[in-house]
Amino acid sequence: MSLEFVLAIYVFLLTVFLGIELINRVPATLHTPLMSATNAIHGIVLIGAMLVAGAADNTLLHALGLIGVILGAGNAVGGFAVTDRMLEMFKKKPVEGQ
Amino acid sequence: MEDFRESVIHIAYIISAALFIIGLKRLSAPASARQGNQLAIGAMTLAFVATLIDPEISTFWTIIIGTLIGGGIGYYLARKVQMTAMPQLVALFNGMGGGTAAVIAVGEFMKFTRDGEVTAGEGLSVAFGVTVGCIALTGSLIAGGKLHEILPSGAIRSPIQMPAAILLVLAVGATWVYLLAMGGQETTVWIMFAVALVLGIALVIPIGGGDMPVVVSLLNSMTGLAAAAAGFVLDNQILIIAGALVGASGMLLTVLMSQAMNRPLSNVFFGAFGAAGAGPAAADGEAKPIRQTNADDAAVMLGYAQNVIIVPGYGLAVAQAQHAIRELADELDKRNINVRYAIHPVAGRMPGHMNVLLAEANVPYDQLFEMEQINGEFQRTDVVLVVGANDVVNPAARTDQTSPIYGMPILNADAAQTIIVMKRSMKPGFAGIENDLFHLDKTRMLFGDAKAALADVIAAVKNV
């Protein structure tokens, strides 16, 4: 195994512990928005799909890259948009009549 | 120049990683949640722009067209879909992410084999990315289909499921061994891809609709791990960090959710493979008695009460009656009646779903109470109005050890003086279980569409 690969495993491991700590005390009210937000965050795969699509040099790789970018962009944009729509409703509303 | 561009990309990715972490932290508190989401959007945008200057990218048309199509579809669905259909939309987006991770792994594997030997680390990352990504893709689509009720929402069970699932797992395992031990070829990865797609279907099909929120959450976590695997394949740190964050937090969220529903994860997945005859059959032969009421009587009961608790359920949301229930609460409030809402942790289809739906209808925060806060109040309550809720007020969860929901924490609606249940019909709930609450002496059933029935009750309350 290369040193780069081992270092990447360390990064992965530390981030796993961090991820657990970050949302350890989340109230049940936020479970749905949080699931939706984390769903959007893994839309980061879009970046990976861009690298596959951008470096493609034959038809099959172009096709795979294009499919990846479409799916990844849908995950990222749609995920963040629906989360924002959900959280928008949680903001304090001005009291009517004021 | 390439060194300079790569440095810029690395710095952008580091900032992006920090923004994702801070964003996730903000997302876990109600007051800062929206800001947290916006920070995460910033992180994603930064990583996207930085990747565009990557020297490895030579073709741009697929990226531009793909982003416009995918982003356009995602944005359109996110804005147009009704809030009640939101769980299946999240499932759909999740499936898309899983598919992306699998496609990346396949694409990169083709380049690896062309460039010579595939290292153990690369092989492992590809196998993990393809397998988990594909399971997340088809699993999410099946889960979404069940939530949307395109597919039958019940648990679909047959005796061949267990052997079929084992066979599929063995088949995937064989492709792993072939890939890792013998280097494998493109064909191996494509077979792995195909078998994992079928495995995703086989794993989710037998699980009942009531458990779908937990399944979607688990698949969400899996897609995070698949994204991290894609990061290993591409040697891309931001993918590893963002993917691991989602994988870990998604897993914790899944555990929290299954605790709220009192459904241990092992039950959700393997319970489905157990004996099909579990739980008391809803068909007792003879129908138990119920007491029906009408809008006028319900209005009198509500209008002369001092304390009213409303228990909203998914039926309320399906009928789009959030606004009607708030109107009724306002009307009762005018008569100085103390109105509160009791929100079960899994009311709706997912934990917190009901809060989102009621917030949409401008129901004030301070009237919403979580189960632990309000459960002691039911015995001092004159009228409980149950609208479109079923399993979350089923006393069998406390008393009947043979019931599939035994042990699930429920709202003690049965402790109140009078219970009015608004329901479309006597059909059992999403979990398909008989509810004894409906047969109590002090329970009155008000049948009909929640929105129409509430409108009648509101009109009647005004005349009381």
pLDDT in tens, A18-72: 999 998 878 777 888 899 999 999 999 999 999 999 999 999 999 999 999 999 9
**Cα separations in angstroms, B124 against B109, B162, B183:** 11, 27, 11
Give the C-alpha separation, B324 to B341, whole Å: 14
At residue A62, the pLDDT reads: 96
Q: Are B369 and B386 in contact (CB under 8 A)?
A: no
Q: Do B242 and A53 touch (CB under 8 A)?
A: no
List B446's β-bridge partners, or say none: B422
At residue B152, the pLDDT reads: 81
The dihedral formed by the CA atoms of B367, B368, B373 and B377, expressed in degrees to the nearest 10 = 50
Half-sphere exposure of residue B404: CA atoms within 13 angstroms, side-chain side: 25
At residue B429, the pLDDT reads: 62
At residue B75, the pLDDT reads: 97
| Tens-place pLDDT, residues B350-398 | 777 888 888 888 888 788 888 888 988 999 999 999 998 888 888 888 8
SS3 B104: helix
ipTM of the complex: 0.93
At residue B1, the pLDDT reads: 60
Interhelix angle B2-27/B237-260, rounded to 10 degrees, is 10
Nearest CA in chain A to B16: A44
| Tens-place pLDDT, residues B250-263 | 999 898 888 777 77
Give the C-alpha separation, B433 to B155, whole Å: 13
At residue B430, the pLDDT reads: 60
Our CA-based measurement puts residue A33 at a distance from the nearest CA of chain B, in whole angstroms, of 8
Q: Closest CB to A47: pick one of B23, B28, B238.
A: B238
SS3 B444: strand
Q: Which residues of B380-409 are buried (b: 16+ CB within 10 A; e: fewer)?
A: ebbbbbbbbbbbbbbbbbeebeebbbeebb
SS3 B167: helix
At residue B367, the pLDDT reads: 87
Q: Does residue B138 register a pLDDT over 60?
A: yes
**Residues of B known to be catalytic:** 391
Nearest Cα to A83, choosing from A23, A18, A14, A35? Answer: A35
Our CA-based measurement puts residue B14 at a distance from the nearest CA of chain A, in whole angstroms, of 12
Establish if A88 touches chain B: CB-CB under 8 angstroms.
yes
Our CA-based measurement puts residue B460 at a distance from the nearest CA of chain A, in whole angstroms, of 25
Q: Classify burial at B363, counting beta carbons within 10 Å of its beta carbon; exposed 0-12, middle 13-18, buried 19 or more.
A: buried
- pLDDT, greater one: A74 or B301: A74
- pLDDT, greater one: B135 or B409: B135
Q: Do B48 and A46 touch (CB under 8 A)?
A: yes
Interhelix angle A31-41/B2-27, rounded to 10 degrees, is 170
Q: Do B51 and A51 touch (CB under 8 A)?
A: yes
At residue B278, the pLDDT reads: 39
Place of tokens 């390439």: B2
| Mutation for testing the A interface, residue in B6, B84, B92, B96 having most A CBs under 10 Å | B96
Q: Are A26 and B28 in contact (CB under 8 A)?
A: yes
Strands B368-370 and B383-387: unpaired
| Tens-place pLDDT, residues B79-96 | 999 888 888 999 999 999
Give the residue extent of every domain in chain A: 28-88
Q: Closest CB to A48: pick one of B236, B348, B370.
A: B236
Q: Do A28 and B351 touch (CB under 8 A)?
A: yes
At residue B276, the pLDDT reads: 38
Contacts of B16 (CB under 8 A, 6+ apart): B43, B44, B46, B47, B50, B238
* Overall residue count recorded for chain A in this entry: 98
| Tens-place pLDDT, residues B80-137 | 998 888 889 999 999 999 999 999 999 999 998 888 888 888 999 999 999 999 999 9
Which H helix or E strand runs over B436? Answer: none
Nearest Cα to A77, choosing from B161, B41, B95, B309? Answer: B41
At residue B117, the pLDDT reads: 80
Q: Does residue B279 register a pLDDT over 50?
A: no
DSSP code of residue B84: G
* Mean predicted confidence (pLDDT) in B219-235: 96
At residue B277, the pLDDT reads: 38
Q: Are B125 and B109 in contact (CB under 8 A)?
A: no
Q: Do B121 and A2 touch (CB under 8 A)?
A: yes
Q: Does residue B155 register a pLDDT over 50?
A: yes
Query: Per the structure block, which two tokens stand in for B413?
Result: 């609606």
| Mutation for testing the A interface, residue in B77, B93, B122, B255 having most A CBs under 10 Å | B93
Q: Does residue B161 register a pLDDT over 90?
A: no
CATH 3.30.70.120 for domain B295-463: no
Give the residue extent of every domain in chain B: 96-273, 295-463
At residue B275, the pLDDT reads: 35
Average pLDDT, chain B: 87
At residue A94, the pLDDT reads: 46
Establish if B123 touches chain A: CB-CB under 8 angstroms.
no
DSSP code of residue B292: B
Alpha helices in B335-447, H assignment, sequence order? 353-360, 371-374, 396-399
Place of tokens 């795979």: A64
pLDDT band at B14 (very low <50, low <70, confident <90, very high): very high
Our CA-based measurement puts residue A25 at a distance from the nearest CA of chain B, in whole angstroms, of 7
Surface of A (45-74) touching B: CB under 8 A: 45-56, 60-62, 64-74
| Tens-place pLDDT, residues B179-198 | 888 877 889 999 999 999 99
pLDDT band at B212 (very low <50, low <70, confident <90, very high): confident
Establish if A41 touches chain B: CB-CB under 8 angstroms.
yes
Query: Per the structure block, which two tokens stand in for B56?
Result: 């490895």
Q: Closest CB to A71: pick one of B24, B37, B70.
A: B70
Give the C-alpha separation, B436 to B406, whole Å: 13
